[in-house]
Chains A and B, each alone.
Chain A
Amino acid sequence: MRATLRLLRSMKPYRKLIGLDWFAMACLVAADLAIPRMLQTTIDRGILRRDVSMIWQSVLVMVGLIVVSAAATAGITVFSVRVSQSFAADLRRDLFAHILSLSPGNLDRWQTGQLMTRLSSDIAQIAQFVFMTMRMFLRAPLMIVGSLVLMALTNWQLALIMLVLMPATLLVFVVYANKAQPLFIQVQRQLDRLNTAFQENLAGVRVVKAFVRARHENERFEALNTDLMERNIRVGHFLAILLPILRYLVSLGIVAVIALGGVLAVRGSLAIGQIIAFNSYLLWVMMALTNLGMMVGFISASDASAQRIFEVLDEAPKVSDSPSAMPLPRGEGHLALERVTFSYDGEGREAVLQEITLAARPGETVALLGATGSGKSSLISLLPRFYDVQEGRVLMDGLDVREVTLDSLRAQIGLVPQETILFSGTIRDNIRYGRPEASDEEVIAAAQAAQAHDFIMSFPDGYDTLVGQRGVNLSGGQKQRLAIARALLMNPRLLILDDATSSVDVETEAKIQAALDAFKAGRTIFLVAQRISSVLGADKIVVLDRGRIAALGSHRQLMATSPLYCEIYRSQLGNAIGGA
Chain B
Amino acid sequence: MDDKRLDGRASRREGPRAAGATQASGAQPTMGMPAPGMRGARAVEKARDPQKVLRRLLAYLRPEAWPIAGVTVLVVLTTGLELAGPYLVGVAIDRFIARSDLAGLMRVVLLMVGVYTLAWLAQYRQSYQMVAITQRVLRVLRRDLFQHLQTLSLRFFDQRPTGELMSRLSNDIDAINRVLSQSVVELAASLLTLIGMVGVMLALNVWLALGALVILPLMLWFTLHMGRGTRRGFQQVQANLGRLNALMEENIGGIRVVQAFRRQGATLAAFDRANTATRDASIRAQLLLTLLRPMLMVFSNLDIVVIAGLGGWLALRGMVSVGVIATFVLYARRFFEPLLTLADLYNSIQSALAGAERVFEILDQVPEVRDRPGATELTDLRGHVAFEGVYFSYVKGVPVLQDVSFVAEPGQVVALVGPTGAGKTTLVNLLARFYDVDQGAILVDGHDIREIKQDSLRRQLGIVLQDTFLFSDTVMENIRYGRLEASDEEVIAAARLANADQFIQRLPEGYQTQLSERAGTLSQGQRQLLAIARAILSDPRILILDEATSSVDTRTEVQIQQALLNLMKGRTSLVIAHRLSTIRNADQVLVMDGGRIVERGTHESLLAQRGFYYRLYMSQFARAELSPAQEPSLAEPPPSLATD
Contacts and interface: CB of A to CB of B under 8 A. Distances in A.
Contacts of B325: 43, 47
B455 interface: yes
B22 interface: yes
Interface string A434-473: 1010000000000000000000000000000000110000
B434 to A, nearest CB: 7
A104 B252 CA distance: 10
Interface string B8-28: 001110111001001110101
Chain B binding surface, main DSSP class: helix
B44 to A, nearest CB: 16
Nearest to B333: A283
B92 interface: yes
A298 interface: yes
B338 interface: no
B128 A237 contact: yes
Given A237-B131, A243-B127, A421 B254 contact: yes
Interface stretch (B54-62, B294-302, B384-392, B498-506): B294-302
B554 A89 contact: no
A406 B259 CA distance: 9
A55 B312 contact: yes
B482 A143 contact: no
A568 B119 CA distance: 80
A427 to B, nearest CB: 16
A202 B148 CA distance: 12
B396 interface: no
Interface in B301-331: 301-302, 304-305, 308-309, 311-313, 315-316, 322, 325-326, 329-330
A327 to B, nearest CB: 13
A298 B30 contact: yes
Nearest to A576: B581
Contacts of B272: 93
Contacts of A242: 15
B106 interface: yes
Which of A201, A229, A415, A509 has most B Cβ within 10 Å?
A229
B302 to A, nearest CB: 6
Contact of B461 (A185, A210, A421): A210
Contacts of B301: 35, 62, 66, 69
Interface stretch (A119-127, A348-356, A518-526): A119-127
B97 interface: yes
B358 interface: no
Contacts, number: 530
Given A221-B146, A469-B246, A576-B580, A239 B127 contact: yes
Interface string B606-644: 000000000010011111100100000000010011001
Contacts of A99: 252, 255
A276 B312 CA distance: 15
A1 B165 CA distance: 38
A502 B89 CA distance: 81
Interface stretch (A9-17, A132-140, A149-157, A337-345): A132-140
B622 A573 contact: yes
B394 to A, nearest CB: 12
Contacts of B637: 577
B170 interface: yes
A196 B640 contact: no
Contact of B4 (A199, A290, A469): A290
A241 B316 CA distance: 46
B291 interface: yes
A300 to B, nearest CB: 7
B76 interface: no
Contacts of A204: 469, 471
Contact of A93 (B142, B146, B275, B287): B275
B312 A533 contact: no
Contact of B554 (A39, A239, A407, A571): A571
A301 interface: yes
B408 interface: no
Interface stretch (B32-40, B187-195, B218-226): B32-40
A201 B458 contact: no
Interface string B78-106: 00000001000100110011101010011
B131 A533 contact: no
A411 B262 contact: yes
Contact of B92 (A258, A288, A415): A258
A181 B624 CA distance: 66
A184 interface: yes
Contacts of A76: 294
Contact of B584 (A125, A198, A574): A574
B365 interface: no
Chain A residues touching B, majority SS: helix
Contacts of A286: 6-7
A351 B328 CA distance: 78
A386 B166 contact: no
A206 B287 contact: no
A233 B98 contact: no
B128 A577 contact: no
Contact of B131 (A96, A236, A413): A236
B550 A372 contact: yes
Contacts of A77: 287, 290-291, 294
B260 A415 contact: yes
A211 B150 contact: no
Given A204-B471, A555-B624, A211 B7 contact: no
B116 A252 contact: yes
A85 interface: yes
Interface stretch (B133-141, B203-211, B397-405, B442-450): B133-141
A372 to B, nearest CB: 6
A424 interface: yes
Given A77-B294, A82-B283, A503-B420, A116 B5 contact: no
A194 to B, nearest CB: 8
Given A124-B38, A287-B6, A574 B471 contact: no
B312 A229 contact: no
A255 B116 contact: yes
B305 A63 contact: yes
Contact of A580 (B38, B120, B268, B584): B584
A423 to B, nearest CB: 6
B364 interface: no
Given A276-B326, A424-B246, A47 B32 contact: no
B184 to A, nearest CB: 15
Contacts of B474: none
A81 B283 contact: yes
B626 to A, nearest CB: 9
Contacts of B533: none
A357 interface: no
A236 B162 CA distance: 30
A29 to B, nearest CB: 9
B322 A43 contact: yes
Nearest to A251: B116
A48 interface: yes
Contact of A564 (B30, B484, B534, B554): B554
Contacts of B248: 96, 116, 119-120
B312 A568 contact: no
A203 B316 contact: no
Nearest to A84: B286
A167 interface: no
B432 interface: yes
A60 to B, nearest CB: 9
B256 A104 contact: yes
Given A202-B166, A411-B262, 9 more contacts: A66-B305, A81-B290, A100-B268, A120-B245, A211-B534, A221-B147, A240-B16, A251-B119, A255-B109
22 contacts: A86-B283, A100-B268, A140-B1, A198-B169, A204-B471, A207-B465, A212-B459, A232-B131, A236-B19, A242-B15, A254-B7, A254-B89, A266-B102, A287-B10, A288-B1, A417-B256, A421-B253, A434-B263, A468-B250, A533-B624, A574-B584, A576-B580
